[in-house]
Amino acid sequence: MPVVIAIDVHWGEMDAFAHLNNVSYFRYFESGRIAYFEQMTRVTAREGDPVEHAAGAPAGVGPILAKTSCRYRAPVFYPDTLYLGVGVSDVGRDRYTMRYELYSTKLAAVAASGEGLIVAFDYGAGKKAPSLPARWREAIAKLEASASAG
């Protein structure tokens, strides 16, 4: 997966059963999603570009999370350091799927995996955009190719 972030588990993220609360996994996925978006912006940046979110999207068009899921494979406990890998698959006309794998150093195993369906959304019009911006496609292709090459 082309984007990997380190996450320290905090004591306050534990639930009544002393393991990581299910909500935390989705927050971690969100952090990974944003890190991927930041990388998309970096790989498609052009001289003189204004700073924009989501890989240089046209004004008013940005990503929106349409659906998300998580498969819990093993409970995570404090303290632990996790590594979240993020990649993209199934790129369609107006959407793509983000894949997540959360690796626990304490368990030396994948503790959870998940997906998020990302749709291009026209925030000005308040509705789904007809297609993914070309720069998003370019950025995803570059990032995924870098993961395949590495």
Residue 103 has pLDDT above 90, yes or no: yes
**For 65-79, how does the pLDDT look when each residue is reduced to its tens digit (9 = 90+)?**
999 999 999 999 999
Domain of 71 in residue numbering reads as 3-149
Least confidently predicted of 39-43, 44-48, 88-92:
44-48
What is the predicted pLDDT for the residue at 51? 47
pLDDT of 25 over the 70 cut: yes
Task: Quote the pLDDT of residue 100.
Answer: 99
Structural Rg of the chain based on CA atoms: 16
Dmax over CA atoms of the chain, in Å, equals 52
DSSP 147: H
Helix (H) or strand (E) holding 44: helix 22-44
Structure letter (DSSP) for residue 13? G
Residue with tokens 């999370």: 65
What confidence tier does 49 reach under pLDDT thresholds 50, 70, 90? low
Give the chain's domain count: 1
* pTM strictly above 0.85: yes
Q: What percent of the chain has pLDDT over 70?
A: 90
- Return the CATH number at 31: 3.10.129.10
Question: From CA 124, how far away is CA 102, in angstroms rounded?
Answer: 35
